[in-house]
């Protein structure tokens, strides 16, 4: 890649760091470590933009467009499932979670069921979901750096983790919402700006007909949509933002706005996929290669410096998507780990966040040539089989018990990991999704067998979750 593209990417990344540092100019009485900053109220639109920044991560940034580029619009299940998950979250979980007064998933589990054992099991699931969700972010950082400089992917993984660690350690969660809200619009602009240029050239120059793609099986496609939707409900880095809402109504409005914002990248992904498939006579490659083909599309379509600048802009957006999403994961999972270790203060939180970011580096060389879409679906499958049924049953069923919750978390986690990485084209994905109802069934069955262990405060907890604000 030319030096122009690298320079453009560096300028965009400098804007990323500048936007992080701007909110810190405001006077702050004292730093707020861990998840305690969730008590600070954030307006719904800004909060929705921050959650949109979590959804528009490196995996979604590359994965959605790479899927359409490789397989056509028949596999546009990733953004559709994410938008459906936001709608389900708005309808069934956002407002009750805010009314609970807990500032994390594990806090909610312990408060609702009155059990430290449930907290320990939920902490393990939160860590697993966070680490699985970091894998596609690292993949995106490595792919973007390789496209820009030709360097090895591991260099992108290392540089990305180091940058995210520095940002989290310097700011913590004090400005994470404002940081992600600003960068959602920046990443969306970086993803959208090259589209009119490519579309103009596509209409001026004759393009090859789009290659025919094998239509995916309907069962696999519906299973993937359901997997992404259920997994979105249980993402810890997304749920943390809802605790900054002013009340249950504000949390529901935030989730409704997020549903709209999460659908915007899907429109851009369709445009990129259509243009890319028309410009590639032989058909683009699949898997991890499709993500690189998407980033190189402007350079191969627009001649000269303009193409290099647009490619640098796309790659910088992918790197920024990795940094913002990784910071959100580090804040949510690192705060949970620091609470589990019973260590208070900013130093414990920062150490836990750095460990959370660095842990997936040991797994990256062994994950194989999977694309960003397949890796993010693995994380969402684990979330759908563990945290999603815990939240929904804990909110809507009074009879849930601690033994039932622990059994469901363990079985769901084991089944999701055993199912492996789902196929992005919709093949052989039903086992990964079937694990979610199995885990929920285990929670219900064991709770019925241990109905005498229903918490005494369950009635008061359910009233607090569903009573109108005020």
Residue 48 contacts residue 220 (beta carbons within 8 Å): no
Of residues 178 and 7, more confidently modeled:
178
The whole-number pLDDT of residue 34 equals 44
Mean pLDDT over the full length of the chain: 76
The DSSP code for 338 is: H
Mean pLDDT of 226-254: 83
Please report, rounded to a whole number, the percentage of residues in the chain having pLDDT higher than 90: 19
Mean pLDDT of 355-371: 81
From 14, 117, 83, select the one nearest 255 (Cα to Cα): 83
Of residues 352 and 369, more confidently modeled:
352
* Four-way CATH pick for 40-373: 3.90.25.10, 1.20.1730.10, 3.40.50.300, 3.30.540.10: 1.20.1730.10
Mean pLDDT of 127-148: 84
CA geometry: angle at 325 spanning 125 and 276, to 5°?
A: 115
Instruction: Tell me the pLDDT band of 447, cut-offs 50, 70 and 90.
Output: very high
What are 279-303's pLDDT values in tens digits? Answer: 654 444 544 556 677 777 787 777 7
Token pair for 177:
């919402």
CA–CA dist 327, 334 (Å, integer)? 10
What are 140-169's pLDDT values in tens digits? Answer: 788 777 777 777 888 888 888 888 888 787
What are 25-57's pLDDT values in tens digits? Answer: 443 334 444 444 444 567 787 788 778 777 666
Mean pLDDT of 412-424: 76
The yes-or-no verdict on residue 129 having pLDDT over 50 is yes
From 418, 409, 415, select the one nearest 446 (Cα to Cα): 409
Give the global pTM.
Answer: 0.82
The whole-number pLDDT of residue 421 equals 63
Distances from the Cα of 26 to the Cα of 4, 21, 22, 169, 245, angstroms: 35, 10, 8, 18, 21
The whole-number pLDDT of residue 62 equals 67
Mean pLDDT of 445-460: 94
The whole-number pLDDT of residue 459 equals 92
CA–CA dist 456, 295 (Å, integer)? 56
The whole-number pLDDT of residue 38 equals 46
CA–CA dist 4, 247 (Å, integer)? 48
The interaxial angle of helices 304-340 and 176-192, nearest 10 deg, is 150
What are 88-118's pLDDT values in tens digits? Answer: 888 898 888 888 888 788 999 999 999 999 9
From 167, 59, 152, 134, select the one nearest 361 (Cα to Cα): 134
Give residue for tokens 């579309």. 199
The whole-number pLDDT of residue 423 equals 57
Residue 35 contacts residue 240 (beta carbons within 8 Å): yes
């Amino acid at each position: 890649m030319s030096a122009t593209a690298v320079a453009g990417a560096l300028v965009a990344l400098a804007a990323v760091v500048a936007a992080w540092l701007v909110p810190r100019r405001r006077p702050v009485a004292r730093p707020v470590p861990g998840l305690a900053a969730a008590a600070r109220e954030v307006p719904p639109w800004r909060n929705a933009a921050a959650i949109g920044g979590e959804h528009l991560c490196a995996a979604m940034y590359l994965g959605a467009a790479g899927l359409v580029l490789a397989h056509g619009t028949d596999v546009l299940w990733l953004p559709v499932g994410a938008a459906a998950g936001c709608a389900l979250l708005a309808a069934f979980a956002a407002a009750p979670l805010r009314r609970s007064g807990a500032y994390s998933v594990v806090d909610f589990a312990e408060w609702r069921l009155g059990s430290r054992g449930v907290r320990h099991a939920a902490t393990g699931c939160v860590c697993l979901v966070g680490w699985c969700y970091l894998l596609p972010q690292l993949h995106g950082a490595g792919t973007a750096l390789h496209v820009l400089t030709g360097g090895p992917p591991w260099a992108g993984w290392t540089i990305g983790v180091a940058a995210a660690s520095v940002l989290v350690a310097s700011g913590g969660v004090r400005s994470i919402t404002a940081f992600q809200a600003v960068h959602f619009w920046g990443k969306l602009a970086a993803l959208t700006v090259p589209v009119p240029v490519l579309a103009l050239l596509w209409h001026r120059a004759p393009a090859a007909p789009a290659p025919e793609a094998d239509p995916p099986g309907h069962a696999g496609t519906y299973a993937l949509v359901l997997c992404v939707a259920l997994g979105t409900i249980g993402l810890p880095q997304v749920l943390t933002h809802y605790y900054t809402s002013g009340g249950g109504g504000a949390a529901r409005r935030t989730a409704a706005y997020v549903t709209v914002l999460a659908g915007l990248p899907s429109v851009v992904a369709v445009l990129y996929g259509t243009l890319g498939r028309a410009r590639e006579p032989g058909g683009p490659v699949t898997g991890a290669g499709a993500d690189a083909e998407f980033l190189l599309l402007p350079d191969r379509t627009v001649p000269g410096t303009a193409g290099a600048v647009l490619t640098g802009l796309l790659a910088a957006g992918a790197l920024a998507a990795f940094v913002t999403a990784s910071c959100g994961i580090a804040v949510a999972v690192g705060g949970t780990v620091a609470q589990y270790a019973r260590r208070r203060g900013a130093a414990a939180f920062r150490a836990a966040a750095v460990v959370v970011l660095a842990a997936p580096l040991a797994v990256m060389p062994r994950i194989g040539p999977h694309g960003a879409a397949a890796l993010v679906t693995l994380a969402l499958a684990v979330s759908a089989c563990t945290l999603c049924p815990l939240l929904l049953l804990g909110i809507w069923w009074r009879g849930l018990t601690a033994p039932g919750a622990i059994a469901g978390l363990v079985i769901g986690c084991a089944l999701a990991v055993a199912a492996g990485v789902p196929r992005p084209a919709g093949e052989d994905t039903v086992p990964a999704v079937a694990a979610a109802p199995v885990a929920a069934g285990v929670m219900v069955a064991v709770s019925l067998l241990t109905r005498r262990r229903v918490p005494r405060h369950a009635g008061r907890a359910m009233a607090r979750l569903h009573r109108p604000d005020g």
